[in-house]
């Protein structure tokens, strides 16, 4: 626990070592905030974070404001491991800031958990960030005044220090937040709590999502901000709108309407992978659930890369809506051919390679009753390194599938992400090194096809200009320093990615 003086006591970490890096893109963080006088804001935030658990499973935290003081509880582990009813009961208040974390910048350790709580001349503030800065080193140099003690290794803490320094130089909260945001380059969806207001801010590209909603009736003055709309649904809050790219929204205690303003010229380039895979299928983007979008990309995939087969199955959970869409468009029967153990988190101790070869399948188990003797189309959302896909194909054949046709509901991932998604370096991405035909041979599938970039955008009913698609084409919308770019773009000569962006 931590009070506003910054002292902090973290419980014993509950995570275990991760034996192997997972073969997929991993979401970075979820942010959440509730401003609601007279409501159990910590409990509401707990449920909100629970609904955003897919956005980060390494640490969780909540900071609650109560009569000018802040109580903070954060730790390593899932939301349900970090909080229990006793902890939440000790956190009364009227404003809560919450965060789920999966590390992209900074290692996985307790000091990097959020929210960050700092003291200023105007009182404490609590801060939570989803995204990733591409100018963290430059920002750290600017902020290093010889007095600031950097306690974590994350870029998020730097934004908080920028706010703290601006306030302590004499600025009020809002201009300080805007000044700090203007110093940042990269992806940042932020929630910031002070003793009498909640601020929600999104970078000018709107790379990571952020929405807000109303809790109770129009006069309640109770507000919720969440990375995704599923975080509003879980506590019965009504969706109001997205926090727009380049927007700052101020929610004040007692006000029945928030103040919305642009802090930066918008240039919307939302991460298209949020729609394909990262966000929850019941979350709403562009006025509809992602379940509908994902079904549509399956339909387009069937149109683009149809094949004769007996069954279409999806890799649970994210491949299922696209598999249903593929079935609808192709007329091939949809079936559950793979069963997923839903309780394998990132903190699970993975079996060794030898154990795996001996047949231990922790996450997915194929159903021979369904698959035996069938020509199977299997739909997955992406291929990153290809190691998991190769094992999956073998497992389907072992279960009796006579043919395996793999269809991927996104284009080939050829470039790493610098904007808050944890990806391998470029040389680890199989599609950066091999052609589709070579990947087909490597996976030992009968055929392999990916969704086209045009199909991915068409399904969203929006122009490609609205999205970041850099991991598919290297067109990075936010310029990066050479050192940042060279950290992951192993296969490209220096400067190539910059010229594309």
Residues labelled catalytic: 29
469 binds ligand SF4 (CB under 6 A): yes
Q: How far out from the chain centre does Cα 84 lie? A: 24
The single residue among 65, 285, 419, 450 that binds ligand SF4, judged by CB under 6 A, is 419
326 binds ligand SF4 (CB under 6 A): no
Question: Residues 205-224 vs ligand SF4: string with x where CB under 6 A?
Answer: --x-----------------
Long-range (24+ apart) CB contacts under 8 A made by 398-401 are 398/366, 399/337, 399/366, 399/367, 399/368, 399/371, 399/372, 400/368, 400/371, 400/372, 400/373, 400/374, 401/371, 401/372, 401/374, 401/375, 401/376
Residue with token string 């790379």? 207
**Cβ distance to ligand SF4 smaller for residue 87 or 457:** 457
451 binds ligand SF4 (CB under 6 A): no
Residue with token string 């153990």? 341
Closest separation in Å from C-beta 373 to ligand SF4: 39
Closest separation in Å from C-beta 249 to ligand SF4: 22
Token pair, residue 408, equals 């991927």
Distance CA 444, CA 390 (A): 7
Q: Which stretch in 30-38, 67-75, 79-87, 467-475 sits in contact with ligand SF4 by CB under 6 A?
A: 467-475
Coil, helix or strand for 380?
A: strand
Closest separation in Å from C-beta 471 to ligand SF4: 3
Strand ranges, E, within 221-332: 223-226, 238-242, 247-252, 259-262, 270-271, 284-285, 288-289, 311-314
285 binds ligand SF4 (CB under 6 A): no
**Cβ distance to ligand SF4 smaller for residue 394 or 464:** 464
Q: Which stretch in 299-307, 390-398, 415-423, 487-495 sits in contact with ligand SF4 by CB under 6 A?
A: 415-423
Quick one: residue 386, left, alpha or beta (phi over 0 = left, psi -120 to 50 = alpha)?
left
Residues 6+ away with beta carbon under 8 Å from 265: 204, 246
324 binds ligand SF4 (CB under 6 A): no
For the purposes of burial, counting CB atoms within 10 Å of the CB of 17, is it exposed (0-12), middle (13-18) or buried (19 or more)? exposed
**Cβ distance to ligand SF4 smaller for residue 115 or 477:** 477
Cα→Cα distances 335→173, 311, 313, 417, 490, Å: 54, 7, 5, 33, 40
399 binds ligand SF4 (CB under 6 A): no
290 binds ligand SF4 (CB under 6 A): no
**Cβ distance to ligand SF4 smaller for residue 210 or 324:** 210
**Cβ distance to ligand SF4 smaller for residue 42 or 417:** 417
Q: Would you say 25 and 278 are in contact if contact means Cβ atoms under 8 Å apart?
A: yes
Q: Which stretch in 231-239, 256-264, 324-332, 464-472 sits in contact with ligand SF4 by CB under 6 A?
A: 464-472
Q: Which of 282, 226, 286 is nearest to 96 (CA)?
A: 226
Q: Which stretch in 79-87, 244-252, 295-303, 466-474 sits in contact with ligand SF4 by CB under 6 A?
A: 466-474
Closest separation in Å from C-beta 467 to ligand SF4: 7
100 binds ligand SF4 (CB under 6 A): no
Closest separation in Å from C-beta 414 to ligand SF4: 10
**Cβ distance to ligand SF4 smaller for residue 66 or 475:** 475
273 binds ligand SF4 (CB under 6 A): yes
Q: Which stretch in 32-40, 45-53, 162-170, 265-273 sits in contact with ligand SF4 by CB under 6 A?
A: 265-273
For the purposes of burial, counting CB atoms within 10 Å of the CB of 123, is it exposed (0-12), middle (13-18) or buried (19 or more)? middle
272 binds ligand SF4 (CB under 6 A): yes
Distance CA 481, CA 440 (A): 35
459 binds ligand SF4 (CB under 6 A): no
370 binds ligand SF4 (CB under 6 A): no
471 binds ligand SF4 (CB under 6 A): yes
Total chain residues near ligand SF4 (CB under 6 A): 11
Q: Would you say 165 and 183 are in contact if contact means Cβ atoms under 8 Å apart?
A: no
Closest separation in Å from C-beta 207 to ligand SF4: 5
> Where do runs of H (alpha helix) occur along 230-377?
230-233, 272-273, 290-304, 320-330, 353-357, 368-371
Coil, helix or strand for 389?
A: helix
Closest separation in Å from C-beta 215 to ligand SF4: 30
Cα→Cα distances 196→122, 193, 217, 357, 404, Å: 11, 8, 21, 57, 58
Coil, helix or strand for 286?
A: coil
Distance CA 151, CA 439 (A): 44
The single residue among 176, 271, 320, 399 that binds ligand SF4, judged by CB under 6 A, is 271
Distance CA 5, CA 381 (A): 46
Closest separation in Å from C-beta 86 to ligand SF4: 38
The single residue among 421, 430, 432, 449 that binds ligand SF4, judged by CB under 6 A, is 421
Distance CA 254, CA 275 (A): 35
Closest separation in Å from C-beta 466 to ligand SF4: 12
**Cβ distance to ligand SF4 smaller for residue 417 or 448:** 417
379 binds ligand SF4 (CB under 6 A): no
Closest separation in Å from C-beta 131 to ligand SF4: 9
Binding residues vs ligand SF4 (CB under 6 A): 207, 271-273, 417, 419, 421, 468-471
């Amino acid at each position: 626990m931590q009070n506003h003086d910054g002292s902090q006591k973290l419980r014993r970490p509950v995570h275990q070592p991760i034996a192997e890096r997972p073969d997929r893109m991993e979401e970075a963080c979820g942010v959440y905030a509730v401003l609601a006088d007279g409501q159990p804001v910590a409990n509401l935030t707990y449920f909100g974070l629970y609904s955003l658990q897919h956005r980060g499973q390494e640490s969780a935290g909540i900071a609650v404001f109560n009569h000018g003081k802040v109580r903070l509880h954060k730790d390593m582990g899932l939301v349900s491991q970090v909080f229990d009813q006793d902890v939440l009961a000790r956190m009364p208040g009227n404003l809560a800031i919450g965060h789920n974390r999966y590390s992209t910048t900074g290692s996985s350790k307790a000091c990097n958990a959020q929210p960050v709580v700092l003291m200023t001349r105007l009182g404490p503030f609590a801060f939570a960030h989803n995204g990733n800065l591409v100018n963290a080193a430059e920002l750290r140099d600017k902020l290093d005044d010889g007095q600031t003690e950097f306690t974590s290794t994350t870029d998020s803490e730097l934004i908080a220090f920028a706010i703290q320094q601006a306030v302590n130089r004499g600025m009020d909260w809002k201009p300080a937040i805007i000044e700090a945001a203007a110093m940042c380059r990269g992806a940042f969806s932020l929630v910031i709590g002070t003793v009498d207001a909640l601020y929600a801010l999104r970078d000018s590209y709107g790379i990571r999502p952020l929405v807000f909603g109303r809790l109770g009736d129009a006069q309640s003055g109770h507000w919720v901000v969440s990375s995704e709309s599923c975080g509003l649904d879980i506590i019965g809050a009504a969706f109001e709108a997205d926090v727009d790219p380049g927007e700052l929204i101020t929610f004040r205690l007692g006000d029945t309407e928030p103040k919305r303003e642009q802090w930066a010229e918008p240039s919307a380039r939302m991460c298209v992978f949020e729609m394909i895979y990262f966000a929850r299928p019941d979350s709403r983007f562009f006025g509809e659930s992602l379940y509908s979008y994902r079904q549509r990309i399956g339909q387009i995939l069937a149109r683009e890369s149809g094949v004769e087969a007996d069954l279409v199955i999806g890799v649970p959970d994210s491949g299922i809506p696209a598999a249903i869409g593929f079935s609808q468009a192709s007329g091939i029967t949809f079936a559950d051919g793979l069963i997923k153990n839903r309780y394998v988190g990132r903190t699970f101790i993975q079996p060794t390679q030898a154990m795996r070869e001996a047949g231990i399948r922790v996450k997915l188990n194929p159903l021979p009753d369904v698959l035996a003797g069938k020509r199977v189309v299997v739909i997955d959302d992406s291929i990153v390194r290809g190691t998991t896909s190769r094992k999956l194909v073998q497992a389907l054949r072992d279960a009796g599938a006579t043919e395996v046709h793999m269809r991927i509901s996104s284009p080939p991932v050829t470039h790493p992400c610098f904007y808050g998604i944890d990806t391998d370096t470029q040389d680890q991405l199989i599609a950066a090194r091999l052609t589709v035909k070579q990947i087909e041979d490597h996976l030992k599938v009968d055929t392999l096809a990916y969704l086209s970039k045009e199909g991915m955008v068409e399904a969203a009913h929006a122009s490609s200009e609205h999205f970041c698609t850099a991991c598919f084409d290297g067109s990075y919308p936010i310029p990066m320093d050479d050192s940042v770019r060279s950290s992951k773009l192993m296969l490209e000569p220096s400067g190539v990615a910059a010229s594309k962006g």
